[in-house]
Amino acid sequence: MHDHAPDHDLPAASAPNPLIARLEQEFGYPRLCSAQDMAEFLARPGAHCLFVPGDPRRNLETADAAVILPELRLTFQNTFDCAVVDDAIEAALREETRALKTPGFLFYRDGAFLGAIEKVRDWSDYLARVTHILSLSPA
């Protein structure tokens, strides 16, 4: 027997994950594709969270993290803004911050790295860690 389904209905291997795309389209999170994009985003006043998704095809936690981030932001009453880190700068950023595991949330204030939450966690762990990270002063 042959499968006669048309190939054009299959998702492309490089198609964006719909939950990550939702962060950009529905929530308006910018995608940071270069060091300049990141520097400009981090130069804004206030606290910032960079979402480092990793490879959503290989890491099933990425989709969960993409759902968790807007909920965290809402829980913390929008005290931080968010952006999605593009593949083009992800590896360098992970190396620079030593936050090597994905998915990850990297927090900054005044351009300074405050801390990271790597991998998916229990909700209570997110609440405690984000509270702690946001209480830190930039170095």
Q: Which two tokens stand for residue 99?
A: 């936050």
Residues 16-25 as b/e (b if ≥16 CB within 10 A, e otherwise) read: bbebbeebee
How confident is the model over 25-43, as a mean pLDDT?
97
CA 128, CA 104: separation in Å to the nearest integer? 16
For residue range 86-99, list pLDDT tens digits in order.
Answer: 999 999 999 999 99
For residue range 10-19, list pLDDT tens digits in order.
Answer: 444 456 799 9
Query: Does 4 have pLDDT greater than 80?
Result: no
Which has more pLDDT, 34 or 5? Answer: 34
CA 121, CA 107: separation in Å to the nearest integer? 16
Among candidate residues 50, 28, 39, 52, the one with its CA nearest the CA of residue 102: 52
Helix (H, G, I), strand (E, B) or coil at 1: coil
Q: What is the pLDDT of residue 54?
A: 93
Among candidate residues 33, 20, 40, the one with its CA nearest the CA of residue 93: 33
For residue range 62-89, list pLDDT tens digits in order.
Answer: 999 999 999 999 999 999 999 999 999 9
Mean pLDDT across the chain: 91
Domains of the chain plus CATH, in order, are 31-135 (3.40.30.10)
